[in-house]
Each structure stands twice: as structure tokens, then as C-alpha cells.
Amino acid sequence: MIFVAKTTDVLIIGGGITGLSVARALSKYDVSVTLVEKEADVGWGQSKASHAVRHPGARWAPGTIAQQMIAESNQLMAQLIEDLHIEYKKTGELVLAFSKEEVASLNIMKKQAESIKVGGLEIIGKGEIRRLEPNINPAAVAALYMPTAGVFNPFDLVSAFFENARENGVRMLMDTRVIGIVFEKNKFIVETSCGEIRANYIVNAAGLFAEKVARMAGAEDFHITYDTKATCLILDTLLGDIVQHIVTAPNDPKTFLRYKLATPTFHGKLLIYTSFSEPAKGIEDRAVSKRVFDATLKSAETLIPDVDFERHVVASYAGLTARNDRGDFIVEASRKYPAFVHAALPPPGITCSPAVGRRVVEILQNNGLGMTEKTNFNPYRTSIGSLIKSTPAQIEALVREDARYGRVVCRCEKVSEGEIIEAIKRGATTLDGVKFRTRAGMGRCQTNYCGPEVTALLARERNLGVEDITKKGCGSNYIH
């Protein structure tokens, strides 16, 4: 990889939603910004493993940084969704209670949400629950109804921030792993797998690796734990309308299944999720064991009984969540180096991303970074044209403009050659990069039919041999 420049005002380490939100916030100002990401594409850490819920804030206690960030972000998000064409569906959320103790928990959650002025909150009884969601477990005695909740397409959210920040001048360096950091003569000298970068300021948005990155600079102010593995199962569209709302239950820290969720996805599938207290085998542990798979199905059955979930599972994935020893968000300058800013977030990073970006900008300004607003900042981004989201008239217009939109490559998700080519132009270099931008390969066949053709398109557009195309970066070649 050849760097455009090896010096930068601000170096952001980490290309998840946190790093990208900081990148976009900084791209409004006349400063040089570089983002490095160790993976082949952005959003492949915690962001990829997220269940992509936009939380109203009821689960976080008043006074926490997390609740402040949720409240601020929910005020900012509507404009961002419009400006960046972010794929989002407002569904509302029902938090079910199955006992008197859990009803008491609902009332606490309601008060916590009211403290940040969340509107429309209501504790509803059995009859209203059944009216809203006929398939919900009839044993639920009450529910907290939160109409402002919703679901994102997490990959589109990440892409939107990435594309807009890059459009506004942020240098994005993929496949670039940070190896060491030295502070010398008021600059950080950062050794990476692709060369040396000198930066005046660093934003540590490395997620699970945030403590490791901080330790490289001697700026460790916290401890990251990763003992909670988040496991998600995606079920096909036949179950996509079994619930219309995000359906959850109060957290129970005394049980193996601490948090359970069933939600429609933005694209009409069903996602079921649970978190586990068992320790992970390592920071890269993303395996879904049979025990965890079965427990996730069982947790969904407590919310929606009498459904054969297993028969409809399309995909399963797991990820670790970067919790810390403070039990809250960490968005602050290092005590040792004021120019080294931590942005270490446990869930829900997706919900909080806009406010975190804004807060980091404030910290950098307060610690001496001169920032003048750009006169030519472009706040807008358009999404990739899509057959599956278009009306017949819109499809006709797409094909008229580019005939490649008339040729379907992924039959499961109805993704055209035109969409895949556009995704490659916007930064997709791998099969997963195309999949996350277009959904090619996310259907029932899981790339068995479309995989070879997407590989051929990547090779053609990138002027490479098909043997050089990978699923997700180095060591994952599609053709061996």
C-alpha cells in the first residue's frame, strides 16, 4: 500500500462505526485526517456483529455518559438518516415482563427513559400486547412500549459515514495494522504494517483492541473485558413478519441468558439475539458453538413460542463486545497525553455514534487542535440504487441509465450487476465487502450460486485474476 501522505493532523485508529463517526465529524473542518483499519474493509468488528437497534435509552441509568450519548444522538440521527440516505425502519419496541418483579423493572426503565425526554412511553397490559403482537408469548403480563425505537441496516450505516467522510477528504487506509506508538517531540510516531505515520493527535477507536492500542502509547487509562459474546441468528423472510416490533425482556444478570431479543431486520428477515456470560476463548473468538446456537433458539422461544426457528435459520454469527472496568462509555483525553483521545464504547455504539463523533471533536478543540469549518463541506451521500427497494418505474429508470441494472446476479436478494459494480466503485474489494453493501450472498443460498459471478466481477473491475479475490481479506481466497 502506498500512502497519499505519511503525516496527518489527526490519526483515527479503528474503522468501526465509532471511528467513522469521528472521521465524518472531523471532515467538516480544515484539518488533515487519516483513518487506519486493520481489516480489509470498515465495520468488520463490533459494528458487523451488532443487532442494529436504535435504542431510546431506557436501559441506561441517568447520569451515565452512555445515556447522555444516546439522548444526544437520537436528536441528531433523524437529520443524518435523511442527509446520508441511511437505511432505517422505525418499528417501536416492546419490553416484555413475565412477573411482578419484571413489571417493577419496566417502571424503572420507563423513568430512566423519561429522564432524557423519550416520548410516547407506556406500560401496556396483556390485551394491548396481543393486539400489537399476536404471536408474542401469552405469559407476558405487561410490556413497556417505546415507539421511538427502530432498526438500521448496520452495513449501510457504516458505509454512509465512510463514504461521506472520504468524500470530504478523510484518507482511509485499510489492511493497516498499528504495531507501535511513540510520543516524541510533541508528535505521535505510529508504526503500522504499511509504514510510519506521524500524527499530532490520535483518536483511539479500536473497539476490542482499544486497551492494546492505549498501552502501545503508554496511555492506558482503563481495562477492556470481552467476556460477553453476542450471538445472532438470521432467519429467512418467511418469519420476517412474525413480529412487527423489536421484542425484548428486562436484563437478568443472574441467568445464563442475560439479554434476549427478537426483531425484524431492515430487509424483512427476523433476527434473534442473546448475550452470554461465558468467557470467550480469545479476543478473536467469533465461533458459534452448538450449545450457544441452541441456547439462542431457546431464548427466542421465551419471547415467541410455538415457532420452529431452527428450520428457517439462514446465517449465524457471533462477536465480542468491548466492555470496560468503568461500566460506562469512555470518551475522553488520556491523562498522560491530552492529544491522545479515547473513544472506547461498549454497546450501543451504533445508537450513540453521532454524539460520540461530536464529543471527540470538542475534546480535540479543547486540547489545542486548531479547527476552521470548511466552506465546501458536503453533508450528503446517496445510497446505491437497488432493484429490491425500487418500484417498477424506478427500476425502468435505473436500467435506462445503466443496462447492467437489468441483469440479476444474486437471485435470492435480487441484486443486479449494476449494484455490484457501484459497490466496488465505493470501496468494496472483497466478496464480503460487496455482500455488506448490496446483500449479494445474504440470501438462502449464501453465495453458492452468485459467489463465482461476484468473484468474476471483482476481478474484472479491479483488474486482478479471480484467484486473487478474497472473501474477507488476506488468507481467505475464494478460489484455492
Question: What is the radius of gyration, based on Cα positions, of the chain?
Answer: 22
**Mean of the pLDDT values across residues 171-196?**
96
pLDDT of residue 362: 98
Q: Residue 55 catalytic?
A: yes
pLDDT in tens, 431-460: 999 999 999 998 888 888 899 999 999 999
Measured from the Cβ of residue 376, the count of other Cβ atoms closer than 10 Å reads: 7
Q: Is the Cβ–Cβ distance between 161 and 23 less than 8 Å?
A: yes
Residue 3's pLDDT band (boundaries 50, 70, 90)?
Answer: very low
Scan for cell 504494517, then name that residue: 193
Burial per residue of 412-425, b for 16 or more beta-carbon CB atoms within 10 angstroms, e otherwise: bbbbbbbbbbbbbe
Residues 6+ apart with CB under 8 A from 155: 43, 48, 436, 437
Is the pLDDT at 195 greater than 90, yes or no?
Answer: yes
For the full predicted model, state whether its pTM sits above 0.85.
yes
Residue 254's pLDDT band (boundaries 50, 70, 90)?
Answer: very low
> Could you tell me which of 227, 295, 282 has the C-alpha nearest to residue 256?
295
**Mean of the pLDDT values across residues 54-68?**
93
pLDDT of residue 4: 42
> Of the residues 51, 55, 267, 312, which is catalytic?
55
Is the pLDDT at 397 greater than 70, yes or no?
Answer: yes
Which three-class secondary structure state does DSSP give residue 182? Answer: strand
SS3 of 194-220: the string is CEEEEEEEEEECCHHHHHHHHHHCCCC
pLDDT in tens, 114-172: 999 999 999 999 999 999 999 999 999 999 999 999 999 999 999 999 999 999 999 99
Burial per residue of 237-260, b for 16 or more beta-carbon CB atoms within 10 angstroms, e otherwise: bebbebbebbbbbbbeeeeebebb
**Mean of the pLDDT values across residues 400-422?**
96
Residue 279's pLDDT band (boundaries 50, 70, 90)?
Answer: low
**Mean of the pLDDT values across residues 207-226?**
93
Is the pLDDT at 253 greater than 70, yes or no?
Answer: no
Domains and CATH numbers, the chain: 1-88+153-221+325-379 (3.50.50.60), 89-152+226-324 (3.30.9.10), 392-468 (1.10.10.1100)
pLDDT in tens, 289-334: 888 899 899 989 999 999 999 999 998 988 888 889 998 999 999 9
> Could you tell me which of 67, 86, 70, 69 has the C-alpha nearest to residue 78?
86
**Angle at which helices 65-83 and 349-366 pack, to 10 degrees?**
100
Instruction: State the number of CA atoms in the 13 A half-sphere of 417 facing the CB.
Output: 12
Residue 11's pLDDT band (boundaries 50, 70, 90)?
Answer: very high
Is the pLDDT at 242 greater than 90, yes or no?
Answer: yes
* Cell output for 202: 490520535
